[in-house]
Amino acid sequence: MSNYNQHVWNTGSTVDNGGHVKSIAEITALPLEERDESYQLVIRADGSDATLTASTCLGLLRGLTTFGQIWYQYGDWIYTTEAPFHILDEPKYKWRGLLLDTARNFFSVNDLKRTISAMELSKMNMFHWHIVDSQSFPLVLPEFPELAEYGAYSPTKRYSTEDFDEVIAYAAARGVDVLLEIDVPGHTAVIHKSHPEYVACFEASPWAKYAAEPPAGQLRLTEHKVILFVQDLFRAAISRLPGKYFSTGGDEINKNCYAEDPVVQYTLKRTGQTLDQAIAKFTNRTHQTLFDNGKIPVVWQEMILDHGDLGLKKETIVLVWVASSHAKKVAKTGHRIVHAPSNYFYLDCGQGPWIGNIPDGHSWCDPFKHWQRAYSFDPLADLTPSEAKLVLGGQQLLWTEQSDPLNLDSILWPRAAASAEIFWTGPDHPLGGPLNGTEAMPRLQDLRYRLVQRGIAAHALQPEYCAVRPYTCN
């Protein structure tokens, strides 16, 4: 760019015995601890050639992203505001994610690809695709065509196998792994439409007694045929995933639903099990299907904190979502954790109630989580040094009860990039001291404008007067 030529070097640490250099997609499918995203970028003040060096193609991608963010264009001129640069860079945390729920409202493949492109620009690497829930089942699985046939909102609101493969490949080429989630045994009411014998308390009323939100309905986890169904469902879903991770959910299991279901109660009494023992059996048997196929389960925190010791394997990764203070409770169990606390990282909060007939209501996780709130998060708060080693990283989340393609970009961006910087840099600033939101604002403004240039409708952070005059509006 401008007077600069760029020399890009891959030093080849990801070359196999046959001399094959692993692609970005191949590296992205590796376990987290085997992914090398480090790079070195040198830009000299005299306009001579810039040099980017990395041990992997994925590292080169991250370096090229940084290189592009150094430059600006004014008319025909491409320039940088400062030089030289000598950057040695790598992420502090391996997991830098974003959850998108495509079950409450449907999002097209183009919506997903646009979101993944923004993630790439923010150096995020885990797209947590909450693809199905009680409201709809848009995922077409050839082994279970009836689930989407009866469970999708309409024939046009489904992800075909071609759609699914396209999203996975698009993400992988950009260094973004896809964590698919099929949440069980709760959040499964929609399965009743194709398999009514598998679901308890379907659309029971009042819904608030039987579910976190309408419609009610949970899998009859005590039944052998249901366990076999879920094992086969997981096999079908993971067969199209190149990565190592798969989320089985496990949150918000409603005990009233099972207490009033005659099928579940009959089996519990016949076998002498408690409900928590049945949850343990169901979870461990379905998780074993993942382990047998080379996948690692990811669960919500309830699987560790709310049902006693379920005996889950220590390899299981735990998403901490209810509150940031719960991270220590999970860390004490020895499980690796991903920070996803609703009090910092939930992007849907603060929009008012979506349940009708409560004019004075509010969203359950008020207030609105602005980017400075997210940026103030400390991933090591209250953790001992040994517990801190269990932190894989974190992610921001968009549950879409009040979002659809029309407001997707503006509710995600640039807010979601706040956590991207936290988990790339860590809680400490490279120049010393904690991360500082005031110092970060110009970088986020810069990213916002770059997103808009790429066709992503990121919302404004300040008046333009402030955006072009850093620190003036503090």
pLDDT at 58 over 90: yes
Give the CA radius of gyration of the chain: 23
Q: Can you point out the beta strands (E) in 296-353? A: 296-300, 317-320, 337-339
Which of 73-82, 166-175, 290-299 comes out lowest in average pLDDT?
73-82
* Band of pLDDT at residue 362, cut at 50, 70 and 90: confident
Span 107-135, mean pLDDT?
98
Burial class (CB in 10 A: 0-12, 13-18, 19+), 465: exposed
Mean pLDDT of all residues belonging to the chain: 95
Q: What percent of the chain has pLDDT over 90?
A: 90
* DSSP H stretches of helix in 239-368: 255-259, 262-271, 275-292, 302-305, 327-331, 342-345
Rounded average pLDDT over 130-148: 98
pLDDT digits (tens, 9 = 90+) for 317-336: 999 999 999 999 999 999 99
pLDDT value of position 432: 87
Asked whether residue 437 carries a pLDDT value surpassing 70, the answer given is yes
Contact 138, 157 (CB under 8 A): yes
Strand-pair category, 95-101 with 391-398 = parallel
CA 460 to chain centre: 24
Backbone angles phi, psi at 396, to 5 degrees: -95, 160
User: For the segment 401-432, what is each residue's pLDDT rounded down to a tens digit?
Assistant: 999 999 999 999 999 999 999 999 998 888 88
Question: Residue 52: pLDDT above 90?
Answer: yes
Q: Which two tokens stand for residue 410?
A: 């503006």
Tell me: the pLDDT tens digits for 171-211?
999 999 999 999 999 999 999 999 999 999 999 999 999 99
Q: Give the mean pLDDT of 64-78.
A: 93
- The C-alpha atoms of residue 416 and residue 395 are separated, in whole angstroms, by 8
Instruction: Give this prediction's pTM.
Output: 0.96
Give the residue-averaged pLDDT of 137-143.
98
String of b and e for 223-261 (b: at least 16 CB within 10 Å)?
beebbebbbebbbbbbeebebbbbbbbbbebbeebbeeb
Render pLDDT for 235-263 as a digit per residue (tens, 0 to 9): 999 999 999 999 999 999 999 999 999 99
What is the rounded distance in angstroms from the CA atom of residue 216 to the CA atom of residue 300? 19
DSSP 379-419: TTTT--HHHHTTEEEEEEEE--TT--TTTHHHHHTTTTHHH
Catalytic residue from among 252, 260, 387, 401: 252
pLDDT of residue 20: 82
Q: Is 26 an annotated catalytic residue?
A: no
Q: Kindly give the pairing relationship between strand 39-43 and strand 50-54.
A: antiparallel
